Amino acid sequence: MTFKLGLTGSIGMGKSTTAQMFVEEGCALWDADAAVHRLYSKGGAAVAPMGAVFPTAIRDGAVSRDALRSIISDDPTALARIEAIVHPLVAQDRAEFIGASSADILVFDIPLLFETGGDAAMDAVAVVHVPDDVQEARVMARGTMSHAQFLAIRAKQLPSAEKCARADFVIETDTVEHARAQVHHIIEQIKNRAGHA
């Protein structure tokens, strides 16, 4: 039996760190952002179809995310066309991961899991969470974006409270030790559920 656990959470909540904790516990991990990175890289499956529709997005044989951002800001219809190319390729990448994996628990790290309806394909969903002020402090401490950029990203994501309400599990990432203990507990619950199924 393979159990599919969706892992999601807003920016700065500690999702990537938590995803690695599941790997340390023996789960297999599929990362949506890493899949897109593979597809956009030189020789990636998205390069040719993206180049056919958006020739200016290709730089040095790879899809440039910066170029895509410019295209999207110049053309409001571009995002839907980009997604029409990328989403089926991401779904194929995910299907290949499922087919190749022998782990009992597969973890799917998908930032916009609820927003894209991806939760419907999961057996359960875990959301990583910290209070808004902690989230904001973490993101600002990275020094990679302005406060306005952070607010714009957060505005596009479902409110964390809503994600938590819809999730089967909520992982508080206030400390690494606390998060790790919760990850371990979730895996135990999934294994127990599988044993009694």
Burial pattern 29-65, b for ≥16 Cβ within 10 A else e, equals bbbbeebbebbbeeebbbbebbeeebeebbeeebbbe
- Using alpha carbons, select from 116, 130, 134, 131 the residue that is nearest to residue 32: 116
Per-residue pLDDT tens over the stretch 152-185 = 888 888 888 999 999 999 999 999 999 999 999 9
pLDDT band (50, 70, 90) for residue 116: confident
Mean pLDDT of the chain: 93
Quick check: 197 pLDDT over 60?
Answer: no
pLDDT band (50, 70, 90) for residue 36: very high
Task: Sketch out the chain's domains with CATH numbers.
Answer: 1-27+104-197 (3.40.50.300), 29-102 (3.40.50.300)
